[in-house]
Structure 1
Amino acid sequence: MVGLQFFVVLVLQSLVVFSRHTFGFAETKSNGVSIKLIPIDSRESPLYKPNLTRRQKIERMVNVTLAKAKLRNLRSTQNSTFDDDKHLFALDRQDKFYLAQMLIGNPIQYVYVVVDTGGPLTWTQCAPCTECFHQIYPIYDRRHSSTYRRLSCNHRLCNHDEEGSLFQCVNGRCVYTHTYGTGGEIMGPTKGYASLESFHFLVNTNGDTEQFTILFGCSNDNVNFEFADDEDNKISGIMGLDLHPNSLASQLSNVFSYCIVPYDDDFPFDVHAHILRFGADVYFPPYPIPTTQYVSVAGTNSYYLRLLDISVGRSRLNFPRGTFEPSSSGVFIDSGTPFTTLTTRAANRINVFERVNRAFWRYYDSRNLVRYPTEPDDSFHVCYMIPQNFRDYPSMTFHFRGADYEVDGRFVNIRFDDEGHFCVAIMPEETDSILGAYYMQNMRIIHNGGIGAVQFFQAQCAGDHF
Structure 2
Amino acid sequence: MALIVSLIFLIFSAVFAAPSNEYGFSVEMIHRDSPKSPMYNPSESHYHRLANTLRRSILLNKAVALLDTAEAPMFNDRGEYLVEVSLGTPPFPILAVADTGSDIVWTQCQPCPKCFEQTAPMFDPSKSSTYKIIPCSSPSCALAGQERSCSDRSECRYSISYGDGSHSNGDFAVDTLTMGSTSGRPVAFSRTMVGCGHDSGGTFSTNVSGIVGLGRGPASLVPQMGAASGGKFSYFPSVTVHFEGADVPLRRENVFVMVAENVVCLAFRGGDGQSISIYGNIAQINFIVGYDVTRNSVSFKPANCSAM
Among residues 147, 150, 170, which one is paired with 1:169 in the alignment?
Answer: 150
User: Is residue 277 of structure 2 the alignment partner of residue 422 of structure 1?
Assistant: yes
1:91 matched to 2:76: yes
Given the alignment of the two structures, is residue 210 of structure 1 paired with residue 69 of structure 2, yes or no?
no
1:66 is the counterpart of 2:58: yes
Q: In structure 2, do the counterparts of structure 1 residues 140 and 17 end up closer, same or farther at CA, with 3 Å as the change threshold?
A: farther
Tell me the SS of whatever aligns to 2:141.
Answer: coil
How much does 1:415 deviate? 7.2
Which residue among 199, 216, 220 is the counterpart of 1:243? 216
Give the distance between the partners of 1:405 and 1:68, measured in 2 at CA. Answer: 22
Does structure 2 retain, via aligned residues, the 8 Å contact 1:395–1:406? Answer: yes
Q: Which residue of 2 aligns with 1:222?
A: 200
Alignment-derived partner of residue 194 in structure 1: 172
Question: Given the superposition, is the C-alpha separation of residues 238 and 15 from structure 1 closer, same or farther in structure 2, using an over 3 Å criterion?
Answer: farther
TM-score by length of structure 2 reads 0.71
Query: Structure 2 counterpart of 1:66, which letter?
Result: I
* Farther-moved stretch of structure 1 (38-47 vs 118-127): 38-47
- Tell me by how many angstroms 1:180 deviates: 2.8
Residue 40 of structure 1 corresponds to 32
Q: Which amino acid aligns with 2:58?
A: L
1:75 has 2:67 as partner: yes
Deviation at 1:395, TM superposition (A): 8.0
Are the equivalent residues in 2 in contact too, given 1:130–1:220 (CA < 8 A)? Answer: yes
User: 2:94 & 2:160 partners in 1: Cα distance?
Assistant: 19
Identify the residue that residue 52 of structure 1 maps to in structure 2.
Answer: 44
Structure 1, unmatched stretches of 5+, are 8-13, 23-29, 270-392, 425-459, 461-466
Unaligned 5+ segments in structure 2 are 1-5, 280-301, 303-308
Name the CA distance, whole Å, in 2 between partners of 1:120 and 1:144: 25
| Cα separation, 2, equivalents of 1:17 and 1:89 | 19
- The CA deviation at 1:262 is 1.0
1:131 equivalenced with 2:114 (yes/no): yes
- Deviation sequence 1:373-414 (CA, Å, 0-9, x none): xxxxxxxxxxxxxxxxxxxx9986443xx424254xxx4135
Alpha-carbon separation, structure 1, partners of 2:197 and 2:216: 22
Shift of the alpha carbon at 1:199? 1.1
Q: CA, structure 1 residues 15+200, in 2 after alignment: closer, same or farther (shift >3 Å)?
A: farther
How do 1:126-165 and structure 2 match up within 5 A?
126-159=109-142, 165=146
CA distance in 2, matches of 1:134, 1:423: 44
**Partner SS, residue 63 of structure 2:** helix
SS at match of 1:140: coil
Equivalent residue for 2:99?
A: 116
Q: For residue 155 of structure 2, what is the amino acid of its counterpart?
A: R
1:243-282 aligned at under 5 Å gives the runs: 243-252=216-225, 253=229, 254-265=231-242, 266-267=247-248
| 1:405 paired to 2:264 | yes
CA positional deviation for 1:118: 1.1
Partner of 1:435: none
Alignment of 1:245-394 (within 5 A): 245-252=218-225, 253=229, 254-265=231-242, 266-267=247-248
Give, as a single letter, the amino acid of the residue that structure 2 aligns with 1:178. Answer: I
Q: Which has the higher contact order (CA 8 A, sep 6+)?
A: 2
Counterpart for residue 354 of structure 1:
none
User: Aligned partner of 1:218: which letter?
Assistant: C
Report SS of the residue matched to 2:60: helix
Q: Structure 2 vs 1, CA of residues 414 and 75 (structure 1 numbering), >3 Å: closer, same or farther? A: closer
Change (3 A) 1:169 1:263: farther
Tell me, in whole angstroms, the C-alpha distance in 2 between the residues paired with 1:35 and 1:198: 16
In the TM superposition, residue 124 of structure 1 has moved relative to its aligned partner by 0.5
Structure 1 residue 107 displacement after superposition:
1.6
TM-score w.r.t. length of structure 1 = 0.49
CA distance in 2 between partners of 1:63 and 1:154 (Å): 45
Distance of 1:16 and 1:396 partners within structure 2? 23
RMSD after superposition: 3.7
Percent identity reads 25
Partners in 1 of 2:91 and 2:73 — Cα distance? 28
1:110 is displaced (CA, Å) by 1.5
Alpha-carbon spacing, 1:422–1:190, altered in 2? closer, same or farther (3 Å): same
Paired positions, count: 261
Deviation (angstroms), 1:45: 2.4
Whole-Å separation in 1 of the counterparts to 2:62 and 2:83: 26
Runs of 4+ in 1 over 4 A off after TM superposition: 3-7, 14-22, 393-398, 414-417
Counterpart for residue 289 of structure 2: none
